[in-house]
Amino acid sequence: MNIKKFVSSTIAMGLLTLTVGASASDTVFHGSLCNPEFPADVSKLEYGQFGIDNSSGSTAFLSCGANTPILATINTVSIITYDRNPSTNVSCTLVLTDIFGNALFSQTQSTTGSGAGFMQLLYNPGVGTHTVNIDCSLPPNSGGNVSHVTTYRIITP
């Protein structure tokens, strides 16, 4: 009897923990989910293992949506990019919007310099929202080296 009680209490506690913790989320999105922002950008962008990149000789603009839990508080957004252009940076504007598209919080972050390795753009809004949009500009290719948005990660408490 005691063993039965112990087992059922343990299971109940486990289920409760799972339920209470269900609202937290940490989701990563692949850069290939991003879309060209303007018709002129369609032919500039390529998609692949490293997300989305700009193979053209001029800056390309892209827009990335996300699938967040409704009414989530967004604590952290992290974007992994590769900036291969020494004179122009990768720049991304995070906009948290309500269900009607009104901005609740926005912030722009840019890379500095350039290099072979990845660079992270980090945002800490801490604002409750309905959904998330990220607009980025990718610099032109530099000597055949292209800049990417590879992944973006959204963390809610």
Partner 1 sequence: MGRFLIVVVAFGLVTTASIVLWRRYSANGGSAAAAAAAPALSTEVARLRTEVEALRSRPPGAPLIVKYSAANDGASAPTPATSAAPGEESAEVKMERIERHAQATAEALDRRLLSEGRDASWGNEALARIDESVKSKLPNATLVESTCASTVCRVVLKQESTDDQRTVGSSLSKSPPFDQGTFYRYDTSSVPPKTTLYIIRSGHDLAELTGAETAQFAP
In angstroms, give the least distance from the CB of 18 to partner 1.
Answer: 9
Q: Which of 9, 27, 67, 102 binds partner 1 (CB under 8 A)?
A: 102
Q: Which two tokens stand for residue 8?
A: 């059922």
Whichever of 86 and 126 has its CB closer to partner 1, that residue is 126
Residue 149 touches partner 1, criterion: CB under 8 A:
no
Choose the stretch contacting partner 1; rule: CB under 8 A; options: 39-47, 100-108, 111-119, 143-151. Answer: 100-108
Whether the CB-CB separation of 82 and 46 falls below 8 Å is answered with: no
Choose the stretch contacting partner 1; rule: CB under 8 A; options: 6-14, 15-23, 26-34, 80-88. Answer: 15-23
Residue 88 touches partner 1, criterion: CB under 8 A:
no
Residue 93 touches partner 1, criterion: CB under 8 A:
yes
For residue 31, which of 102, 89, 112, 118 has the smallest C-alpha distance?
118
Cα 15 to Cα 153: distance, rounded to the nearest angstrom:
27
Cα 51 to Cα 111: distance, rounded to the nearest angstrom:
17
Choose the stretch contacting partner 1; rule: CB under 8 A; options: 52-60, 69-77, 82-90, 111-119. Answer: 69-77
Whether the CB-CB separation of 64 and 151 falls below 8 Å is answered with: no
Residue 1 touches partner 1, criterion: CB under 8 A:
no
Q: Which residues pair with 86 in a beta bridge?
A: none
In angstroms, give the least distance from the CB of 110 to partner 1.
Answer: 9
Which amino acid is it at 39?
A: P
In angstroms, give the least distance from the CB of 155 to partner 1.
Answer: 12
* C-alpha dihedral, 144 to 42 to 115 to 112, nearest 10°: 140
* C-alpha dihedral, 95 to 30 to 155 to 131, nearest 10°: 40
Residues that bind partner 1 (CB under 8 A): 16, 19-20, 22-23, 70-71, 73, 93, 95, 97, 99-108, 124-129, 135, 156-157
